[in-house]
Structure 1
């Protein structure tokens, strides 16, 4: 079922939805880019469709809505633990097909990997997806190669056309909000090809660890971790206990995003650090995305959003690295 309406009427729908949902979408943040005179597209709460950036790829993925950068797990005193209150509202997220697939990867890690993570689950159960259309591929995207360019896992599909908003409603929960709108056949169009193409070699295995190709990244990578923080499927975190100044026996425990590319990630007791070399870290990340995860769950972890290539200050391309594996696999055998 589909509907057509003007922007004013759609904003009225958003106003009603906000009574029950927090609504997140990519927004254009003026002057908030890497440099002072540049902009950034990033997820934030919205109340009007004019706030949504439909035509540019967001710098960060929407994962920070359901897997916050910093998340308080509980507060503690000398003799008590208190979990923080959770907002009763549901969560609506406007996102693209590749990012919907990325959430599936997070679900696999946090909900289906032998033990459910209660903190992730508590937020994830509140989430419904609003699909955004990609009529054309963005720079560095390779979602078609990864099979993530299409999805049917969404509650609503929303697009703008001139001064109108078109909506496809798949979830019965939301049909009451559009009962007075004009009916129209609406369906999303998906990207069929990307300029960037990736081929993962058949027969890839741990013998690739011996390849000389990884040495290149030891000299190029600066271990900033940007590739991990913008990635929609990276799920690593570290723990922090924060003690309050007025009473050092009270505080809170937080989990904070971590990165397999930065110094100290693999440091263990005694000061020994696994994968101290940056080439080894790159090897770990690449193989986890296209080998380890697939071996465990049956499909690739990487969804081809290309954000890691967009964000790297040293112009290291994940897609190029994966394509290099094809020749390297032949070399090490």
Structure 2
């Protein structure tokens, strides 16, 4: 059972909630797209439910909220290391089912991979999820094939219809902010897509023999190693380290971790000049196999959630879903 409120009334409760929470949601940024007359949809802090873009898929994933693009790990002087202060406010994120599933992948890597990542955990423990339903499948989505089109792991569900907001709140902590009248109670169930136009089939016999297939050769010419697919992906987690030295005193500065991409030149370089996966076809093979083979062998489920953002962003129109489907013929080839 849920309830409904007028948008104005919901925003009043949201303003009270914002005293303790930073509220993030996908927002349409007009004129901020690839070209000057195009828009983009990106996660930003909001003050009103009307700012949320419910009808279009976000161009970037919500992972940058709990896994910042650039994050200072500590400041250092000649004698001391100082931990940066974290914002005391909690975090509320509006996201779709596939992105809820992606958070489980991030948790697997940063919390259940042998050692807990302190910086990720500090932010992750403060997060609550507001589910956004999907009444229709978006372009390039294949979430149904990856089993991420539905979820029960959310704290609240919101939907706007006309001038009303429909709410299904599962969190007692969040519920205390909404002192709705009993007359407003209605049945509210999340909307989930059942099928996508794009269907992905992963070979049941997939193994590392596919690495020798000729299917990877085309990506040496097509891929330009820009790394966009990694940066919009909601489950990519790689980063590199930077030491920033201050001009006033080169013994004083800060250490940051910054997002990195397995597709760009230099990512796999080692001391001594040796580098793995110098060819772009090898990088593409590594990414694909990690998303649908290596990760599953360790965890029991696929890393990719089928959001399709990598297909949306690629300037060379390389399709992740098409590449995965080609693996079926590739396995026949190697066998």
The answer to whether TM tops 0.5 is yes
SS at match of 1:157: strand
SS at match of 2:13: helix
Q: How does 1:252-263 map to 2 (within 5 A)?
A: 252-263=254-265
Deviation at 1:13, TM superposition (A): 1.1
Measured against aligned partners, the alpha-carbon deviations of 1:220-258 in whole angstroms (never above 9, x if no partner) come to 000000000000000000000000011111000000000
In the alignment, structure 1 segments of 5+ residues that lack a partner are: none
Measured against aligned partners, the alpha-carbon deviations of 1:153-200 in whole angstroms (never above 9, x if no partner) come to 001000001110000010111222222341111110210000011000
- 1:312 and 2:310 aligned: no
Q: Let me know the Cα RMSD of the aligned residues.
A: 0.6
CA distance in 2, matches of 1:309, 1:77: 44
Count how many residue pairs are aligned between Structure 1 and Structure 2: 333
Partners of 2:3 and 2:180 within 8 A in 1: no
Deviation at 1:38, TM superposition (A): 0.7
Scaled by the length of structure 1, the TM-score of the pair is: 0.99
Partners of 1:4 and 1:165 within 8 A in 2: yes
Q: 1:190 — aligned with what?
A: 192
Q: 2:102 — aligned with what?
A: 102
CA distance in 2, matches of 1:113, 1:270: 29
Q: How does 1:169-188 map to 2 (within 5 A)?
A: 169-181=169-181, 182-188=184-190
Q: 1:225 — aligned with what?
A: 227
CA distance in 2, matches of 1:47, 1:54: 15
Give the alignment partner of residue 268 of structure 1, picking from 243, 267, 270. 270
Partners of 1:3 and 1:178 within 8 A in 2: no
CA distance in 2, matches of 1:177, 1:122: 24
Q: 2:73 — aligned with what?
A: 73
CA distance in 2, matches of 1:273, 1:315: 27
- 1:134 and 2:134 aligned: yes
Deviation at 1:309, TM superposition (A): 0.2
Structure 1 moving runs of 4+ over 6 Å:
none
Q: 1:11 — aligned with what?
A: 11
SS at match of 2:177: helix
